[in-house]
């Protein structure tokens, strides 16, 4: 299950990312309304957790723009606890509403409830050539062979597989897998890709994980 968290407070995002990742959700983060709206419109998420108070475009505006095109479930978060905000949020198409400060257990309960209601937007098994990534059982196969991946290798493969055919920059990969900023050492990504490649590609003639010089990495079947 993929959750997009649109929230500008670093403490809140790292706290929620940790909790939701432990609850087996895949968490994507945007720290402003503009990036959040772009991601919500261009990617498929099972749920968007959206803070109202954001720099630039605020959460209500993001919600209104999103609802013109998509019905992704949205849980609104806000520090403002007035009836007007709540009504405006629900009228703009929010599926639920939670006021800060909230207990993490309550957030998790609301997320689970929303996800039970929503139809699944994302596939359970991703396939690239003869590579099969089972997101539920967290298993990877290539042809008849079962491949053993570490948790980090699996996270990297899932990221690439969910965006197969799309070139992912080292900066983007770093931000999604290690929760670091772009100016941190991108050699970490190169080393992780090398380890993943050793498992999924090295002994196969049809390579799936490609380096795009000067840009990043892409997972695709070019055969
Ligand atoms: Ca905020």
**Over pLDDT 70: what percentage of the chain?**
92
- Identify the residue with better confidence: 183 or 92: 92
pLDDT averaged over the chain? 89
Are both 206 and 101 inside the same structural domain? no
* Span from the CA of 100 to the centroid of ligand 1 (angstroms): 10
pLDDT given for residue 172 in this prediction:
83
Whether the pTM exceeds 0.85: the reply is no
pLDDT exceeds 80 at position 150: yes
Q: Which phi and psi (to 5°) does residue 210 adopt? A: -110, 145
pLDDT exceeds 80 at position 103: yes
Q: List the CATH number of the domain containing 29.
A: 3.40.50.2300
Of 117, 151, 180, the position where a domain reaches its end is 117
Distance CA 158, CA 170 (A): 15
* Span from the CA of 165 to the centroid of ligand 1 (angstroms): 33
Residue 196's Cβ-side half-sphere holds a number of Cα atoms within 13 Å equal to 27
At residue 186 the predicted structure's pLDDT band, cuts being 50, 70 and 90, is low
Distance CA 217, CA 209 (A): 7
Neighbours of ion ligand 1 (CB under 5 A): 8, 51, 53
Are both 151 and 68 inside the same structural domain? no
Cβ atoms 150, 106 nearer than 8 A: no
Cβ atoms 146, 140 nearer than 8 A: yes
Distance CA 185, CA 72 (A): 35
* Span from the CA of 103 to the centroid of ligand 1 (angstroms): 17
At residue 79 the predicted structure's pLDDT band, cuts being 50, 70 and 90, is confident
* Span from the CA of 47 to the centroid of ligand 1 (angstroms): 18
* Span from the CA of 78 to the centroid of ligand 1 (angstroms): 7
pLDDT given for residue 82 in this prediction:
67
Cβ atoms 21, 152 nearer than 8 A: no
Are both 22 and 76 inside the same structural domain? yes
pLDDT given for residue 62 in this prediction:
97
* Span from the CA of 144 to the centroid of ligand 1 (angstroms): 48
* Span from the CA of 31 to the centroid of ligand 1 (angstroms): 9
Distance CA 195, CA 123 (A): 26
pLDDT given for residue 56 in this prediction:
87
Q: 159-179, pLDDT tens digit by residue?
A: 999 888 989 988 888 877 876
Domain carrying residue 148 = 125-219
Token digits of residue 13: 């995002």
* Span from the CA of 7 to the centroid of ligand 1 (angstroms): 5
Q: 130-147, pLDDT tens digit by residue?
A: 999 998 888 999 999 999
pLDDT given for residue 119 in this prediction:
58
* Span from the CA of 133 to the centroid of ligand 1 (angstroms): 35
pLDDT given for residue 221 in this prediction:
96
Are both 93 and 140 inside the same structural domain? no
Pairing of strands 96-99, 168-169: unpaired
Are both 203 and 148 inside the same structural domain? yes
pLDDT given for residue 181 in this prediction:
54
pLDDT given for residue 113 in this prediction:
86
pLDDT given for residue 87 in this prediction:
78
> Tokens 């209500």, residue?
60
Are both 132 and 107 inside the same structural domain? no
> Tokens 């049809």, residue?
206
* Span from the CA of 187 to the centroid of ligand 1 (angstroms): 32
* Span from the CA of 134 to the centroid of ligand 1 (angstroms): 35
At residue 86 the predicted structure's pLDDT band, cuts being 50, 70 and 90, is confident
> Tokens 């993001």, residue?
62
Are both 82 and 8 inside the same structural domain? yes
**Cross-strand pairs, 77:** 51, 98
Residue 212, H or E segment: strand 209-212
* Span from the CA of 183 to the centroid of ligand 1 (angstroms): 24
């Amino acid at each position: 299950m993929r959750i997009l968290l649109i929230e500008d407070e670093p403490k809140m995002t790292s706290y929620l990312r940790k909790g939701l990742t432990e609850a087996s959700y895949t968490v994507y983060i945007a720290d402003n309304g503009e990036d959040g709206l772009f991601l919500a419109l261009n990617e498929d998420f099972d749920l968007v957790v959206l803070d109202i108070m954001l720099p630039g475009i605020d959460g209500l505006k993001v919600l209104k723009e999103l609802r013109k095109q998509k019905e992704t479930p949205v849980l609104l978060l806000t520090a403002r606890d007035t009836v007007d905000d709540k009504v405006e949020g629900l009228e703009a198409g929010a599926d639920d509403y939670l006021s800060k400060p909230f207990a993490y257990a309550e957030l998790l309960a609301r997320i689970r409830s929303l996800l039970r209601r929503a139809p699944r937007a994302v596939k359970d098994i991703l396939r690239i050539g003869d590579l099969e990534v089972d997101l539920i059982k967290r298993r990877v196969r290539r042809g008849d062979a079962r491949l053993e991946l570490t948790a980090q290798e699996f996270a990297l493969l899932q990221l690439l597989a969910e965006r197969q055919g799309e070139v992912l920059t080292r900066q983007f990969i770093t931000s999604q897998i290690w929760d670091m900023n772009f100016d941190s050492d991108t050699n970490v990504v190169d080393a992780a890709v090398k380890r993943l490649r050793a498992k999924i590609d090295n002994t196969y003639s049809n390579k799936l994980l490609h380096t795009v010089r000067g840009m990043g990495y892409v997972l695709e079947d070019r055969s």
